[in-house]
Amino acid sequence: MRFQLSNLRRSYLRAVAVLASGLVLAVASADPYRSEGFVKIPDDVELEAVSAVAVGPAGQLYVLHRGEPPVLAYDAAGEFSHGWGGGMFGVAHGLRVDAEGNVWATDNKLHVLWKFSPDGEVLATYGESGVGGDDETHFRSPDDIAFASNGDIYVADAGNGRIVHLAADGSFKGQWGQKGSEEGEFAAAHGIGIDADDRIYVADRGNNRVQVFSKDGTFVAAWSDFGNPFGVQVVGDELIVTDGDAHTISHLSLKDGRMTHQWGGPGALRLPHLTDHDGSGRLFVTEVEGRRVQIFRRVK
């Protein structure tokens, strides 16, 4: 992947983290990732707020931002290929790639999911454009999606405070959650991730926690005391959590939710949002305020 060199000074992890509960958590003293710069943007594209990034099965990279064209596609060598989606989006938000290489995007304002081919052809639209709802065929401000091992789709339907479960063909299978702060409720289901066992992790932005569920929506756990989660991404045996308020990234153990690292800060990240990773140890972080995609390399 080609990139522009960063001139930012890396922000090192605090040796001691003070949790919201008042407890003190000892953590390692060095960041687990180092910056390798930024995804190179074509000269004729002016990036607006960058909300999501997705890695394809063959190493392609897709970037979603709130300018034109909203979807930018790169080949596996990091060369810009093409863009699409001009004039389509109300508020571009989430972006993921399924196992077949199709590109899915969420629109926070138009209340829809789009399924694109890698070339940008619209293959399907889910929801009704411009019409929010909470039934089986509508969404309200969907923010993010995740794919299970069988191809099922889980949608973080933020405006309704729920998770919607769809079959691989987009047909409705179930839902859970509502607006609130109790177990299984959400202030905003803003980001969603899934692990190899199909456990689901939801960034409950506003309630300052990640909630964990089985694939059928059964509540498993709630993890907190690390900040306000915007996005979540399973990487190995960790959950990578972005906090756009504090401009940090936290690492939580998938085993018990314990925070093992926290790094970043406003000198290194400018409102980190949704992320993705590839098989070579690189983490791609979108920055809404920074209007960029920063590339980090795992160093430990």
**Which pTM was predicted?**
0.91
- Residue type at 163? I
The most distant pair of C-alpha atoms in the chain lies apart, rounded to whole Å, by 51
pLDDT at 30: 77
Per the document, the length of the chain is 300
pLDDT at 111: 98
Report CA-CA distances (Å) from 288 to 9, 19, 188, 189: 19, 26, 18, 18
Q: Determine phi and psi for 158, rounding to 5 degrees.
A: -60, -45
CA 226 to chain CA centroid, Å, is 17
* CA distance linking residue 289 with residue 200, whole number of Å: 28
* CA distance linking residue 260 with residue 26, whole number of Å: 9
pLDDT at 28: 45
Q: Would you state the structure tokens that stand for residue 292, as one six-digit string?
A: 């960029």
CB 194 within 8 Å of CB 146: yes
58 Ramachandran zone, left/alpha/beta (phi>0; psi -120 to 50): alpha
* CA distance linking residue 285 with residue 232, whole number of Å: 11
CB 164 within 8 Å of CB 155: yes
CA 141 to chain CA centroid, Å, is 15
Instruction: Walk along the chain (300 residues) and give the pLDDT tens digit of each residue.
Output: 444 433 333 333 343 343 433 333 334 447 899 999 999 999 999 999 999 999 999 999 999 999 999 999 999 999 999 999 999 999 999 999 999 999 999 999 999 999 999 999 999 999 999 999 999 999 999 999 999 999 999 999 999 999 999 999 999 999 999 999 999 999 999 999 999 999 999 999 999 999 999 999 999 999 999 999 999 999 999 999 999 999 999 999 999 999 999 999 999 999 999 999 998 999 999 999 999 999 999 997
Q: Would you state the structure tokens that stand for residue 167, as one six-digit string?
A: 């079959």
Report CA-CA distances (Å) from 210 to 133, 145, 254: 25, 15, 11
pLDDT at 31: 87
Provide the 10 A C-beta neighbour count for residue 173: 14
- Residue type at 95? L
